Amino acid sequence: MLAFSGSPIYLPMCSRYSLTSPPEAVRATFAYRDTPNFPIRYNIAPTQDIGVVCVDADGQRRFRMMRWGLLPSFVRDPKAGPPMINARAEGISTKSAFRSAFTERRCLVPADGFYEWTGPKGARRPFLLRPRKGGLIAFAAIWERWRDRAGGEIDSVAIITCDANATVTPLHDRMPVVLRLEHFEAWLDCKTTELKAAQDMLQPAPDDLLEAIEMHPQINDSRRDEPGIQQPLQTQLLL
């Protein structure tokens, strides 16, 4: 339980996360065929290319790099408007921007933590939400392939959010959907998993899954992603 005064600021969620686990550990957890050698990331931000686990036409799990910020197929200009980094679980199966991807292109985003902030503008306090027992987590996500008139393609992804659990609520009213390992196969199987079953997976994580650690304000700068940036404050606000 977090202990601090002040009200949370309600901003887009999830807007920053980390993947510091080595490639071998990520591959072992997510069981994809590829053997990518991607760098450790402490401070992943929207519009960057991120690692995504999806299935190919043969139903095999694959690791792909995609732009974080969904581009629906009907968008004319990929630079127009803010990126759709999140998709709300509520109504995802009916909203035009997400309906097709939710039905046909569900995926997983590997992570081992995500960030959220609280406090007034200009004095925002960053927190890292990470598994209490360590290890990897999987965000439920959807992806889309956008094509321009010249034949160019951009694969892009949005992380699905739901109501916050008790751990996240002091910081934000939303959180990314964290899927359990036993749900990976059904979530990725867009051919046989019924949409209602997929929708039912989009629930807040158990209250005891995550812990919140206050970070040094240096993590606020999305341009910084070097070793040591993920530094907790000496004064912990955990009870």
Q: Is 107 a catalytic residue?
A: no
Euclidean distance between the first and final Cα of the chain, in Å?
6
User: 59 in the Ramachandran plot: left (φ > 0), alpha (ψ -120 to 50) or beta?
Assistant: left
- Taking the CA atoms of residue 174, residue 177, residue 178 and residue 179 in that order, the dihedral angle to the nearest 10 degrees is 160
Determine the Cα–Cα distance for residues 141 and 87; give it in Å rounded to an integer: 8
Q: Is 190 a catalytic residue?
A: no
Determine the Cα–Cα distance for residues 151 and 61; give it in Å rounded to an integer: 26
For residues 187 and 106, the answer to whether their CB atoms sit within 8 Å is yes
Query: Which residue is catalytic, options 54, 107, 116, 190?
Result: 116
As given in the structure block, the two tokens for residue 64 are: 């792909």
* Catalytic residue list: 14, 116
